[in-house]
Amino acid sequence: MDSEPKDDELIAGIGRGEESALVELMRRHKEAVFRFSYRYLNNEADSAEATEETFFKVYQNADRFKPKAAPKTWIFTIARNVARDRLRRNQRHRKTLALDAQVDGEDSALPLTEKTDSGERSPSEHLQSNDDLKRIRKEVSSLPEKLRFPFVFCTLEGNSYDECAEILRTSRKTVETRIYRARQALKRQLSPFLEKS
């Protein structure tokens, strides 16, 4: 009876150019990598691209994988680096547009708010909880990198402290401390907001 190949066997297969091994590895981990990326980047399109880039890098580097690291740890180390790089790139290229700015094209005399106004209530007016969620996500995104990754990876995604410590190449105690500090920072940042709600 054939048993399913382990992740490290799939990575070895990818290193030999077996496309089916990559497909199977993605089937097993793509959703978790996307969820992690989404919570890290707070943008669906960026998260989908980060997930694709993660598995492309897995494909590129499969022949260099050393079995001393757990395959999941290796994949999430790549996902973390991709998400962090994308976040930095997005922050460098972020452009702001005031809602009352003039927009080129027809009706250019109208500000952006009037061009996009449908006359109906916005979704945020319909669902206050949507705004609440955005605020919470924003605060998580504003955590320093060294606190954000352990918080997202362990607390939000439910991965173990030991896996996180291995990815960060640090101790479990350091991971615990960083998660505690992330929770304290979020509590401070969100307490006035939660008191209003």
Give tens-digit pLDDT for 46-58.
999 999 999 999 9
Q: Which domains does the chain have, with CATH numbers?
A: 1-93 (1.10.1740.10), 122-197 (1.10.10.10)
* pLDDT in the model for residue 112: 40
Helix 71-93, helix 7-15: angle, nearest 10: 70
- Write the burial class of residue 79 (CB in 10 Å: 0-12 exposed, 13-18 middle, 19+ buried): buried
What is the arithmetic mean of pLDDT over 123-134? 58
Cβ neighbors of 84 (< 8 A, separation 6 or more) are 40, 145, 149
